[in-house]
C-alpha cells in the first residue's frame, strides 16, 4: 500500500499562521455580527485573501439587495473546519464544493438553493471536474496506469474537484490510487501549491480542479506548455483541460434553520444579478442558476465510500450489514426476546386457561356438593331440632314422671326414718338414711338435667338487669361457708372495697354459677385446704371473677372435657356429683355473653375464671 503523506509538516508555520488568522477572522466576524448579520461560510480553496477578494463583493451585493441584513463571508481554507463550524450552526448559508455540500445535506439538513455559473474565458460554465497532470518532460507517465509507484500530490483528501473526482475516474479505469501509487501526499493549502510542487519535481504528478492550470497560466504563474495532461478528455462546450467526467459546479447552500423567506430573497437577488455586476466580475462568475442535479456527486461519493456513504455498498444486503450490523443484532435479539416472551406468555396463558377450566369444573362440583351438603345439613338440622324438642319433651315428661314417685319414695323414707328413730332401730335408721341420700341425689340429678335441657332448648327464662356482683358473691360465700367449715376449708375473698360496680346478668343464673364453681372448689379439696376468691373490674367492659383452690387439680388432658355433661374426671369416690354442674355453668355464662376458663395442675389445685359483662 502506498504511503499517504501530508505536506503540512513541511509547511507547518505558514499553515499555523493561516489557521490562527481564520480563527481570528471568525472571532472578529462573530463579534461584529449583530442579529441582522447573515453569515456565509466559504470554502476558501484559493486561500483566505484571494477568496475574500473573489467573494466579498457578492456579500456586499446581497446586503444592498436585502438591506435589512448585513451579509458577510466567513472564509475557511480547510473543509474539515468548514464542516465543524457548520455543525455548530455558525452559518446561515454556505458556498462550498459539491461533495462537502452532500455531506452537509446528510449531516445538518442543508439544501442547495442555487448552482454557480462559473465564468471562464468570458463564458458561463456550471460544470467542472479534475485535471491529472505531470511535467511535460516526464516521459514515464502517459496514462493513469503509469502512476503506479509514483508520487502523487493533491490539495486535500476531501477536496472534490481537486481530488475525489480524479480518484473516482482512476478507479473506473481500474486503478486504485491509494493502493497502487508509490506515495500520495496532500499539500493541505491551496490548489496553486499542488501545481508548484509538480512543477518543481517534488511530486511526479498532481491533481487540481479544472480551469486551475488555465487560470494560473492567465495570471502568468505557469506556462501551460510545461505540463502534460493525463487521461485527457474532450467534452463539447467545455474548453478546459480535464481528465475526468464533469460534475455540477458549487452550490449556494442554505442551512436547515435558515428561514425560507430569507433563502428566497437571497436566491432571487443572486438569480437576477447582472452578468457585468462588480460582484460577478470579482467572483469570476456570470451568475447563478437553479440548483443542478447533484446525483452524479452522490454516485461519486458512493463509489468512493466517502462522507455519508462511508459504509456504502452496492450490494444492498452487504450495505445493510455494513451500515446496520449493530442495529440488526440488537433488533434480532429484541425479536428473539419478543418471540420467547410471546411463547412464554402463550404457554402461561394456556396453563392459566387449563387451570381456570379445572377450577371452573371444581367450582361447579363444589357448588353442587355445597348445595347437597346444605340440603343434608338442613335436613340434619331439622332432625336435630326435632330430636332436641323430643329430648326436651321427653326430659320434662320423664322428670315429672320420675319426680312424683321419687318424692313419694323420699316421703315414705322420712316416715320410716322417724319410726326407726322412735323405735330405736339403728340398722333400720341407717338403711332409711341410705334411701334418703340416694333419693335426694337422684332428685338433684333430675333437676340438673332438666335445667340443662331447658337452657339448651332456649326455654330457660332469664331476667337481665344490673346485679351487684360483690354482694351476690358474699351471699353465696355465706351460704357455702357451713360446708367449707365442715371440711375445714378456709374461704377468703378479695376485692376493691371502694369500687362499686354491677354486672348485667340474670341474678338466679349468677348465683347458680357461683354456687357451682365455689362448691366444686370445696368438694374437690381436702381438710385444711384454702379457697381464694377475687373480683376485679376490667377495662374491657368485663368483671373478672376468679376462684382458686389448692385441691385435687385436674389432669391436663381431661381439662377440655369437664364442661361436657356427665363428665366426671375425678377418681374420688367419696365426692358425690352428677357431672352436669359445669355444663350448666358454661351454658349460663355464654347466654349472658360471658366466658369461662379453667387452669389446673393435677395434685396442686385449680383456678376457674368467669368474665361477666359489666352494666353500663
Q: Is 381 exposed, middle or buried (0-12, 13-18, 19+ CB in 10 A)?
A: exposed
Say which residue the cell 446528510 belongs to. Answer: 106
Least Å distance, CB 546 to ligand ADP, is 12
Can residue 503 be called a binding residue for ligand ADP (CB under 6 A)? no
- The DSSP symbol for 292 reads P
Shortest Cβ distance from residue 499 to ligand ADP (Å)?
A: 27
Site for ligand ADP in 588-607 (CB under 6 A): 606
Check residue 54 for interaction with ligand ADP (CB under 6 A): no
Residue 211 or 552 with smaller CB distance to ligand ADP: 552
Planar angle of CA 343, 346, 348, nearest 5 degrees: 110
CB atoms within 10 A of CB 308: 16
Q: Which of 94, 480, 513, 554 binds ligand ADP (CB under 6 A)?
A: 554
Residue 366 CB, nearest distance to ligand ADP (Å)? 42
SS3 604: coil
3-class DSSP state for residue 146? Answer: helix
Stretch that binds ligand ADP, among 90-98, 351-359, 488-496, 575-583 (CB under 6 A): 575-583
Q: How many residues does the chain have?
A: 616
The C-alpha cell that represents 182 in the structure block = 508509490
Strand pairing category for 123-125 and 111-120? antiparallel
Give me the 516-535 binding string for ligand ADP, x by CB under 6 A, dash otherwise: x---xx--x-----------
| Opening angle at CA 498, ends 497 and 499, nearest 5 | 95
Rounded to an integer, what is the distance from CA 363 to the centroid of its chain? 36
CB of 503 to ligand ADP, least distance (A): 22
Q: How far is the CB of 431 from ligand ADP (least distance, A)?
A: 25
Question: Does position 548 bind ligand ADP by CB under 6 A?
Answer: no
CB-CB contact of 206 with 170 (8 Å): no
Binding segment toward ligand ADP, per CB under 6 A, in 70-78, 112-120, 211-219, 550-558:
550-558
Residue 500 or 571 with smaller CB distance to ligand ADP: 571
Is residue 579 at the binding interface for ligand ADP, with CB under 6 A as the rule? yes
**CA-based end-to-end distance of the chain:** 110
Which of 246, 549, 586, 594 touches ligand ADP by CB under 6 A?
Answer: 549
**In this chain, which stretch among 214-222, 293-301, 306-314, 566-574 interacts with ligand ADP, using CB under 6 A?**
566-574
**Binding piece for ligand ADP, criterion CB under 6 A, among 104-112, 404-412, 546-554, 588-596:** 546-554
* Nearer CB in complex with ligand ADP: 41/551: 551
- Residue 550 interacting with ligand ADP (CB under 6 A): no
CB-CB contact of 529 with 487 (8 Å): yes
Smallest distance, ligand ADP to C-beta of residue 557, A: 13
Smallest distance, ligand ADP to C-beta of residue 593, A = 21
Task: Give the chain's count of helices (H) and strands (E).
Answer: 16, 22
- The crossing angle, in degrees rounded to 10, of helices 581-591 and 426-456 is 30
Query: Least distance in Å: CB of 475 to ligand ADP?
Result: 20
Number of C-beta neighbours around residue 603 at 10 A: 11
Using Cβ positions, the residue closest to ligand ADP within the complex turns out to be: 577
- For ligand ADP, how many residues bind (rule: CB under 6 A)? 21
Q: Rule CB under 6 A: is residue 582 a binding residue for ligand ADP?
A: yes
Choose the stretch contacting ligand ADP; rule: CB under 6 A; options: 133-141, 290-298, 306-314, 561-569: 561-569
Binding of ligand ADP by 447 (CB under 6 A): no
Nearest distance from C-beta of residue 481 to ligand ADP, angstroms? 17
Q: Which is nearer to ligand ADP, 598 or 615 (CB)?
A: 598
The CA angle 522-524-525, to the nearest 5 degrees, is: 65
Nearer to ligand ADP, 306 or 583 (CB): 583
Which of 562, 588, 596, 610 binds ligand ADP (CB under 6 A)? It is 562
Q: Which of 277, 568, 599, 613 binds ligand ADP (CB under 6 A)?
A: 568
Per CB under 6 A, does 610 bind ligand ADP?
no
Q: What phi-psi label fits residue 458: left (phi over 0), alpha (psi between -120 and 50 degrees) or beta?
A: left
Provide, rounded to whole angstroms, the least separation between the CB of residue 547 and ligand ADP.
8
In 507-549, at which residue ranges do the beta strands (DSSP E only) sit?
A: 530-537, 542-549
In the complex with ligand ADP, which residue's Cβ is closer, 155 or 582?
582
Helical ranges in 273-315 per DSSP H: 278-283, 295-304
Q: Which of 294, 85, 116, 93 lies closest to 211, judged by CA?
A: 116
Q: Which is nearer to ligand ADP, 85 or 549 (CB)?
A: 549
User: 107 to 136, contacts with ligand ADP by CB under 6 A?
Assistant: none
Helix (H) / strand (E) element for 72: namely strand 70-76
Q: Which of 578, 588, 610, 614 binds ligand ADP (CB under 6 A)?
A: 578
- From the list 115-123, 410-418, 532-540, 560-568, the region that binds ligand ADP by CB under 6 A is 560-568
Q: Of the two residues 159 and 449, which places its CB atom closer to ligand ADP in the complex?
A: 449
What torsion, rounded to 10 degrees, do the Cα atoms 436, 442, 447, 448 define? 130
Cα distance between residue 204 and residue 227, in whole Å: 11
Q: What angle do CA 106, 185, 198 make, to 5 degrees?
A: 120
State how far the alpha carbon of 265 is from the alpha carbons of 38, 60, 256, 276, in Å: 12, 15, 16, 20
Spatial separation of the C-alpha atoms in residues 581 and 569, rounded to whole Å? 13
Which cell numbers in the block locate residue 206? 498532481
Name the segment binding ligand ADP (CB under 6 A); options: 143-151, 206-214, 317-325, 547-555.
547-555
Q: Is 489 in the site for ligand ADP (CB under 6 A)?
A: no
Which residues, 213 to 252, sit near ligand ADP by CB under 6 A?
Answer: none
Q: Which of 45, 304, 552, 610 binds ligand ADP (CB under 6 A)?
A: 552
In the complex, least distance from residue 519 CB atom to ligand ADP, rounded to whole angstroms:
8
Least distance to ligand ADP from the beta carbon of 363, Å?
Answer: 46
Grid-cell match 502512476, residue found: 147
Using CA atoms, how far apart are residues 407 and 39, in angstroms rounded to an integer? 133
Name residue, grid cell 353500663: 616
Strand partners, 465: 505
Q: How far apart are CA 595 and CA 608, in angstroms?
A: 11
Q: Can you tell me which residue has the cell 446586503?
A: 63
H helices of 43-199, where?
A: 48-65, 79-87, 98-108, 165-172, 177-180, 191-199
Name which position in 78, 162, 188, 551 contacts ligand ADP (CB under 6 A): 551
Contact residues toward ligand ADP (CB under 6 A) are: 516, 520-521, 524, 549, 551-552, 554, 562, 567-570, 577-583, 606
Amino acid at each position: 500500500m502506498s504511503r499517504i503523506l501530508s505536506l503540512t509538516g513541511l509547511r507547518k508555520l505558514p499553515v499555523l499562521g493561516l489557521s490562527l488568522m481564520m480563527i481570528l477572522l471568525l472571532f472578529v466576524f462573530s463579534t461584529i455580527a449583530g442579529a441582522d448579520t447573515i453569515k456565509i461560510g466559504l470554502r476558501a480553496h484559493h486561500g483566505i485573501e484571494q477568496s475574500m477578494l473573489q467573494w466579498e463583493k457578492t456579500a456586499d451585493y446581497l446586503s444592498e439587495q436585502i438591506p435589512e441584513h448585513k451579509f458577510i463571508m466567513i472564509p475557511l481554507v480547510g473543509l474539515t473546519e468548514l464542516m465543524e463550524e457548520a455543525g455548530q450552526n455558525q452559518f446561515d448559508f454556505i458556498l462550498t464544493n459539491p461533495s462537502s455540500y452532500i455531506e452537509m445535506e446528510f449531516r445538518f439538513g442543508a439544501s442547495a438553493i442555487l448552482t454557480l455559473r462559473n465564468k471562464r474565458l468570458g463564458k458561463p460554465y456550471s460544470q467542472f471536474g479534475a485535471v491529472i497532470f505531470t511535467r511535460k518532460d516526464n516521459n514515464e507517465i502517459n496514462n493513469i496506469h503509469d502512476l503506479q509507484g509514483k508520487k502523487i500530490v493533491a490539495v486535500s483528501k476531501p477536496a472534490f474537484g481537486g481530488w475525489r473526482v480524479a480518484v473516482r475516474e482512476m478507479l473506473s479505469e481500474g486503478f486504485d490510487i491509494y493502493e497502487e501509487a508509490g506515495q500520495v501526499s496532500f499539500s493541505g493549502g491551496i490548489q496553486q501549491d499542488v501545481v508548484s510542487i509538480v512543477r518543481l519535481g517534488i511530486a511526479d504528478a498532481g491533481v487540481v480542479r479544472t480551469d486551475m492550470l488555465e487560470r494560473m497560466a492567465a495570471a502568468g504563474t505557469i506556462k501551460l506548455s510545461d505540463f502534460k495532461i493525463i487521461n485527457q478528455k474532450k467534452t463539447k462546450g467545455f474548453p478546459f483541460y480535464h481528465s475526468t467526467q464533469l460534475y455540477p459546479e458549487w452550490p449556494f447552500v442554505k442551512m436547515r434553520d435558515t428561514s425560507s423567506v430569507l433563502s428566497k430573497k437571497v436566491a432571487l437577488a443572486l438569480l437576477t444579478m447582472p452578468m457585468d455586476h462588480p460582484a460577478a466580475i470579482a467572483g469570476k462568475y456570470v451568475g447563478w442558476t437553479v440548483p443542478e442535479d447533484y446525483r452524479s456527486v452522490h454516485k461519486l461519493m458512493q463509489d468512493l465510500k466517502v462522507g455519508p456513504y462511508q459504509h456504502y455498498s452496492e450490494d444492498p444486503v452487504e450495505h445493510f450489514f455494513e451500515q446496520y450490523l449493530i442495529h440488526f443484532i440488537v433488533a434480532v435479539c429484541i425479536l428473539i426476546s419478543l418471540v420467547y416472551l410471546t411463547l412464554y406468555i402463550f404457554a402461561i396463558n394456556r396453563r392459566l386457561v387449563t387451570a381456570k377450566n379445572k377450577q371452573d369444573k371444581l367450582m361447579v362440583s363444589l357448588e353442587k356438593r355445597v348445595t347437597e351438603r346444605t340440603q343434608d345439613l338442613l335436613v340434619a338440622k331439622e332432625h336435630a331440632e326435632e330430636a332436641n324438642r323430643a329430648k326436651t319433651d321427653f326430659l320434662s315428661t320423664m322428670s315429672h314422671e320420675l319426680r312424683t314417685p321419687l318424692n313419694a319414695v323420699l316421703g315414705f323414707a322420712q316416715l320410716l326414718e322417724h319410726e326407726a328413730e322412735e323405735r330405736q332401730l339403728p340398722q333400720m335408721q341407717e338403711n332409711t338414711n341410705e334411701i334418703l341420700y340416694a333419693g335426694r341425689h337422684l332428685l338433684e340429678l333430675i333437676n340438673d338435667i332438666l335445667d340443662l335441657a331447658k337452657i339448651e332448648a332456649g326455654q330457660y327464662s332469664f331476667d337481665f338487669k344490673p346485679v351487684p356482683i360483690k354482694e351476690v358473691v358474699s351471699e353465696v360465700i355465706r351460704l357455702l361457708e357451713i360446708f367449707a367449715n365442715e371440711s375445714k376449708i378456709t374461704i377468703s375473698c378479695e376485692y376493691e372495697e371502694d369500687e362499686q360496680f354491677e354486672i348485667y346478668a340474670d341474678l338466679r343464673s349468677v348465683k347458680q354459677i357461683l354456687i357451682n364453681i365455689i362448691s366444686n372448689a370445696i368438694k374437690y379439696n381436702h381438710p385444711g385446704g384454702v379457697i381464694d376468691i377475687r373480683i376485679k373490674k376490667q377495662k374491657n367492659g368485663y368483671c373478672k371473677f376468679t376462684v382458686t383452690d389448692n385441691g385435687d387439680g385436674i389432669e391436663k388432658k381431661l381439662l377440655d372435657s369437664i364442661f361436657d355433661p356427665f363428665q366426671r374426671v375425678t377418681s374420688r369416690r367419696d365426692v358425690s356429683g352428677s357431672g352436669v354442674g359445669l355444663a350448666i355453668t358454661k351454658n349460663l355464662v355464654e347466654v349472658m355473653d360471658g366466658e369461662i376458663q379453667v387452669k389446673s395442675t393435677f395434685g396442686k389445685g385449680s383456678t376457674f375464671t368467669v368474665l361477666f359483662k359489666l352494666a353500663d
